Amino acid sequence: MFKPSTLLQYVRDVAASATFYSGILGTPPVEQSPGFALFLLGDGAALGLWQRDDVQPPVIAEAGAAELAMVVADAATVQRMHDEWRALGVQITQAPVTLEFGHTFVGVDPDGHRLRVYSRAEGMVARD
């Protein structure tokens, strides 16, 4: 059995997107070229930023139809990250709010990809 390990985001400008993600992730990419950047996220997961015009087969979907979700320890961490992202100039599309699954907010990257940060509601657990 295999585990998916890399999420690819198709971006208009790899350098600008790499700078954006370096800011919100707090770490630089481990690999970067004019057409691609790679961030290691821990636990074997990675985020790749691929120059949209170079993707084969060509991309037909627009950004925003899916989310990169990041789970954090608690509601206070959600609020802290929201405040940090706002200070970085990240466009916030959903202010911190408590929903059925937990406390959350949503920002978007320069291409419109949705980035959700949340803490799990009590009783909600991760499944392997």
What pLDDT is attached to residue 23?
Answer: 97
pLDDT mean by block of 10 residues, the chain; 128 residues:
85 98 97 97 93 94 88 96 97 97 96 96 67
Category of 3 on φ-ψ map: left (φ > 0), alpha (ψ -120 to 50) or beta: beta
Residue 6 tokens read as 């890399």
Spell out the alpha helix ranges (H) of 5-128.
14-25, 75-88
Task: At 70, give phi and psi (nearest 5°).
Answer: -125, 115
Q: Output DSSP code: residue 44.
A: T
**Which domains, ranges and CATH numbers included, belong to the chain?**
1-59 (3.30.720.120), 61-128 (3.10.180.10)
pLDDT at 124: 67
For residue 107, CA distances in Å to 12, 57, 70, 92 come to: 18, 28, 12, 4
Q: What are phi and psi of 21, to 5 degrees?
A: -70, -30
pTM of structure: 0.87
Kindly give the pairing relationship between strand 67-72 and strand 91-99: unpaired
Give the CB-side neighbour count of residue 62, counting CA atoms within 13 A. 2
Residue 66 confidence (pLDDT): 86
Distances (CA, A) of 42 to 17, 46, 70: 20, 7, 12
